[in-house]
Amino acid sequence: MRVFLVGAGPGDPGLITARGLELVRCCDVLVHDRLVSRELVTEAPPGALRIDRDRLGQHEIEQLLVRYARLGLRVVRLKGGDPFVFGRGGEEAVALSAAGVPFEVVPGVSSFAAVPAAAGIPVTHRGISSQVTIVSGHDADALDLAAVARAPGTLVVFMGLGSLREIADGLIRHGRAADTPAAVIASGTLPEQRTVVAPLGELADAAAGLEPPALVVVGEVVALAGTLALHEFAGALAA
């Protein structure tokens, strides 16, 4: 018995790791996030049990992983992005460890750099940015916006669309220039990707039409978005 906590990557199914794909292709049970692409869910063997975790609470997921593993089944827990970057993979790992269930973490391509890359934005760039700060906008009240505003380099906000105005205003109030280049990228790396580039002070208005999942990027590197080409959606997986 074993549980594999696998990162599915940022959206494009071609961005799962070779190891992760191999594990999906030979699992007995696939417990997947809603945002994981249909192509990857289809890669599980025809007889595999597929479980969309969407209607399950975190504790229920953990119990499910333990239960199926104890039946001697190969369980793959397929999570968007990387399991340990705002993925709650750590909680699942702790639960499995406490239950004595062996597990393995297979990292994934995190959205933090891949989604900006798909919009032509390198999160680091020689002479422009050599520091990246990653935060979650899920609970914007818990953010130390004063510290974040002072951090040099690039800022990446996960799940920041819902509180975008609050975050942008807070950063400006704490000293970030209102004309700092910024972007919101929705559905990054997917065919339906939409990118909005605007100065920080105008970002919330400019991004009004976008829907989650979305990533916010703030910093001088965003100015490179015009120069660099885009990620091309791969979609199909080689056999």
Site for its own copies in 125-154 (CB under 8 A): 125-126, 130-136, 139, 142, 144, 147-148, 150-152
Looking at the Cβ atoms of 68 and 103, the one nearer to its own copies is 103
- Restricting to residues 149-188, which ones interact with its own copies according to CB under 8 A? 150-152
Q: Does residue 92 sit in helix, strand or coil?
A: helix
User: Pick from 183, 2, 32, 17: which is nearest to 100 by CA?
Assistant: 2
Query: Residues near 47 by Cβ (< 8 Å), separated by ≥ 6?
Result: none
For the bound state, the minimum distance from the C-beta of residue 136 to its own copies, rounded and expressed in Å, comes to 5
From CA 66, how far away is CA 78, in angstroms rounded?
A: 15
- Restricting to residues 78-107, which ones interact with its own copies according to CB under 8 A? 82-91, 93-94, 97, 102-107
191 is a site residue for its own copies (CB under 8 A):
no
For the bound state, the minimum distance from the C-beta of residue 68 to its own copies, rounded and expressed in Å, comes to 18
6, 75, 78, 114: which one binds its own copies (CB under 8 A): 114
For the bound state, the minimum distance from the C-beta of residue 113 to its own copies, rounded and expressed in Å, comes to 5
Tell me the window of 27-35, 162-170, 202-210, 223-231 that interacts with its own copies (CB under 8 A).
223-231
From CA 66, how far away is CA 168, in angstroms rounded?
A: 42
Query: Residues near 196 by Cβ (< 8 Å), separated by ≥ 6?
Result: 183, 184, 185, 203, 206, 207, 210
- Restricting to residues 19-78, which ones interact with its own copies according to CB under 8 A? 19, 21-22
From CA 108, how far away is CA 83, in angstroms rounded?
A: 7
User: Taking a C-beta distance cutoff of 8 angstroms, is the pair 86, 40 a contact?
Assistant: no
For the bound state, the minimum distance from the C-beta of residue 118 to its own copies, rounded and expressed in Å, comes to 8
Identify residue 24 by its one-letter amino acid code: V
Residue 126: exposed, middle, or buried by beta-carbon count in 10 A (0-12, 13-18, 19+)? exposed
15, 183, 197, 217: which one binds its own copies (CB under 8 A): 15
Looking at the Cβ atoms of 90 and 191, the one nearer to its own copies is 90
- Restricting to residues 203-222, which ones interact with its own copies according to CB under 8 A? 221
> 97 phi and psi, to 5 degrees?
-60, -45
Check residue 168 and report its DSSP letter: H
33, 124, 165, 223: which one binds its own copies (CB under 8 A): 124
For the bound state, the minimum distance from the C-beta of residue 55 to its own copies, rounded and expressed in Å, comes to 20
